[in-house]
Amino acid sequence: MQKLQFRTIKMTSGKTAMLKAIPLALALSFGNSAYADAEAPQAAQTAAADASQSILERYGITDELLKLGLSSLTYGDQQVEHVKRSIEVDGENHESEVFLVQSTDNRGNIDLRIKYDQAKLDEEEDVIAKIEAITKIEYRLKDYMDSYDKSSLKVNEISPNHVEISFNYSKYGLPQDIAYFRFMHVTLTLIDGKPSTMQITNKGESFEYDDYHVADYVQDISFDTLVNGKTVVKEKTIQAKGQKGKKSVNYMAKLKPVAFYDDMLGVLVMDQELLSTVSDPRIREEKVDLDRLFPILGDFVRQRGIDVPLPFGFSVAYRNQDMDVGFSSFDIMGLNLDEFFDPESSIGTVNAESYSLRADVNILPFWNVFGYVGKVNVDAVVDAHYTGKMKDVFEDKLGVVGGKLACAAVASKGVDICSPGELNVPLHLEYDLVGVGTTLSVGYKEFFASVTASYSKTRLEGNDQWGDGILTIQPMLGYQFLDYRAQVFVGAEYQGLKPTMEGNLGYIDALGRDFTYNVGVELNKWAYLVGFNKQIGKNLNLTALYNKGETRSAFTLNLGYRF
């Protein structure tokens, strides 16, 4: 078989050619769809799947044919495709055209190139990154196993030789960055038992794509049947109307196969003139890097109809936590003060605010690891119950009369240390924060479960020593609203605080030594958790959590960016 051979072509300046063209354009022409499959009860869903499969088999329709509206890369392993597009923004028209050249090796690895004539590109646009992103979506959609909603499948037999099969694309199992395709409705026409045309429309449901608000979208595909019986796309036309801000936008793209390279049939040329153009050695090219290291096994999972989040992320978080702290012992600078301050009658009110910056990566589709740094500000008020024990100390040393005189003398200075009372001690402390963590998650249709564990350490500002680490665990169960790209969840939070609070506030001049403390505390380590997450566009997400326990409450806000 004749296969395409590639080599990287450089510009005369020595820099790799930069392609300029095609934002909404190619985006709407390449693959599109939604999130991570949700099902009705299992028995009903299985019945619907069997029924739809039976209908398709009756008319000789394969899943590969239905996916031709999603991904051009399903045409064949070796192919050349021509893309011509125009976009009119507020009356100003921009036109460009490129070739997409695909080659697949024996192991299934795809080499994809964008080839172009610089003179046929709109100079005002520089969107090579967008074109690469769109073709990567095509690659991800190439082997999706469940791309349409089986329960929506309908057949209209207009005549014995004219049949229309309609369905909706599934809102599940489709990547988050093309979620708008869940609005699409498909009508497939068969003439004399062979696929003739396919039309994809947005059913009047407007959607957002990048900076565009798309009101009307129509994709028309005409098919051809090769001599070996294989169905291929003869031509694909996309028209979209909408707005960018307050400016009107009209978009049109025409995609046409130029040549197929088949093991049995050899080279099948669909347009000799275009093939001669793309074969010109003066044509420039860009290689599209389709494969990403992370998440490992990402493609394997996607091909089974499960969406995988973008692998890398940064986020900023704010947390505000209130705690009511009970005490079991007081040890200050090595002295046990339980006789002077009753731990069981004392209480501490603590407010902690933290600000953190986190970076994370999905190692596997279900396994995320992260690290974070931040600051913690603590404001605490300790209401310690003073027992008046100094009266007994004075009387033991000075006798009853001497003790009373000593107490009176101290009281005359404005300090009554011989009578029980409440001692109010305010504290303000600032800490540095570091930590690492991991999340494991699983999902089925709209439902998901996850557990996150993190290990944090804090250091009092101005000190060199880090305190003991704190283990936090958050198991959660959730439900996702696919049409709104939002999730809600419930769960619990464990904070592995030690039963003692130890620390060193540093050297105190008046004492001539470091001020150390070891205070026994009583805290409930578990709290309930509720929250939600909302995806904003393709890359941003906002998360809010609320915790409520016997001894603490907290809320957390997190704004993240994934890429």
| Phi, psi (rounded to 5 degrees) for 139 | -65, -40
| Res 491: pLDDT | 97
Compare 260 and 561 and report the one with higher pLDDT: 561
Instruction: List the single range of 66-70, 275-279, 311-315, 412-416 with lowest mean pLDDT.
Output: 66-70
204: left (phi over 0), alpha (psi -120 to 50) or beta: left
Nearest of 528, 365, 378 to residue 459 by alpha carbon: 378
The fraction of the chain above a pLDDT of 70, given in percent, is 75
387: three-class secondary structure by DSSP:
coil
Helix (H) or strand (E) holding 93: strand 92-104
Task: Please name the residue that has the structure tokens 């449901």.
Answer: 205
Distance of alpha carbon 402 from alpha carbon 406, whole angstroms? 6
Compare 479 and 515 and report the one with higher pLDDT: 479
Alpha carbon 425 to chain centroid, angstroms:
45
Cis peptide before 295 (omega within 30 of 0): yes
Give CA angle at 197 (237, 99), nearest 5°. 35
Give the pLDDT mean for 196-207. Answer: 89
Residues 484 and 302: beta-carbon distance below 8 Å = no
**pTM, 2 dp:** 0.62
Task: Please name the residue that has the structure tokens 């009860």.
Answer: 41
Instruction: List the single range of 25-29, 186-190, 260-264, 514-518 with lowest mean pLDDT.
Output: 25-29
344-357 in b/e form (b: 16+ CB < 10 A) is eebbbebebebebe
Indicate the domain borders of the chain. 24-293, 312-388+420-562
Instruction: List the single range of 275-289, 414-428, 520-534 with lowest mean pLDDT.
Output: 414-428
Distance of alpha carbon 381 from alpha carbon 5, whole angstroms? 74
Residues 430 and 460: beta-carbon distance below 8 Å = yes
Compare 200 and 111 and report the one with higher pLDDT: 200
**Right CATH number for 312-388+420-562 from 2.70.70, 2.60.40, 2.40.128, 3.90.550?**
2.40.128
Per-residue pLDDT of 458-487, as tens digits, reads 998 878 888 888 999 999 999 988 778 899
Using 50, 70 and 90 to split pLDDT, how confident is the model at 9? very low
Per-residue pLDDT of 378-430, as tens digits, reads 998 888 778 777 777 777 877 888 778 877 877 776 667 788 877 777 888 89
pLDDT at 2 over 90: no
Distance of alpha carbon 347 from alpha carbon 324, whole angstroms? 7
Question: Which segment, 150-154, 241-245, 514-518, is predicted with the most confidence on average?
Answer: 241-245
Bridging pattern class, strands 79-89 and 92-104: antiparallel
Cβ atoms < 10 Å from Cβ of 461? 12
Whole-number Cα distances in Å, 9 to 274, 323, 480, 559: 19, 64, 46, 42
120: three-class secondary structure by DSSP:
helix
Average pLDDT, the chain: 78
Instruction: List the single range of 32-41, 87-96, 349-358, 456-465 with lowest mean pLDDT.
Output: 32-41
Beta-strand runs (E) in 340-446? 341-364, 367-386, 421-444
Residues 363 and 296: beta-carbon distance below 8 Å = yes
Beta-bridge mates of residue 560: 315, 541
Give the pLDDT mean for 183-210. Answer: 87
Token representation of residue 472: 């936090």
Compare 6 and 332 and report the one with higher pLDDT: 332
Amino acid (1-letter code) at residue 563: F
Beta-bridge mates of residue 538: none
Distance of alpha carbon 471 from alpha carbon 489, whole angstroms? 21
